[in-house]
């Protein structure tokens, strides 16, 4: 259903990215670890973006983010931004539940 906000676990996130030919979008600074290895995905399925750019997105950027999975350290920023994009543009966008820390542990990213 278009415009429905979703928080997804890692297995569902990988399925979405593969089936919908989309990406994991890391929100923030360059991570200290290889995120593609941590997420077990191909490098072309990963992108880094500034959260402010997403918050102030125009229609074109929102459409580019459609079907992507937003990832942040704990899942709060990604969920907030996913909800914002859904409300503003009615797109399908996802947030990785618990963020990267749920996968690699607190402070290991």
pTM of the full predicted structure?
0.91
Q: Rounded CA gap, 73 and 3, in Å?
A: 24
Domains of the chain: 6-104 (3.40.250.10)
Cβ proximity of 19 and 67 under 8 Å: no
> Taking the alpha carbons of 28, 14, 6, 67 in that order, is the dihedral positive or negative?
positive
pLDDT in tens, the chain (109 residues): 344 558 999 999 999 999 999 999 999 788 878 899 999 999 999 999 999 999 999 999 999 999 999 999 999 999 999 999 999 999 999 999 999 999 988 877 7
Query: Rounded CA gap, 10 and 30, in Å?
Result: 20
């Amino acid at each position: 259903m278009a415009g429905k906000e979703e928080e997804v676990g890692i297995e569902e996130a990988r399925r979405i990215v593969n089936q919908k030919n989309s990406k994991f979008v890391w929100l923030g600074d360059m991570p200290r670890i290889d995120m593609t290895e941590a997420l077990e995905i191909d490098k072309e399925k990963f992108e880094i973006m500034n959260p402010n750019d997403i918050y102030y997105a125009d229609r074109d950027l929102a459409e580019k983010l459609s079907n992507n999975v937003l990832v942040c350290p704990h899942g709060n920023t990604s969920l907030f931004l996913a909800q914002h994009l859904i409300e503003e543009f009615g797109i399908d966008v996802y947030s990785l539940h618990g963020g990267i820390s749920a996968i690699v542990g607190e402070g290991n990213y």
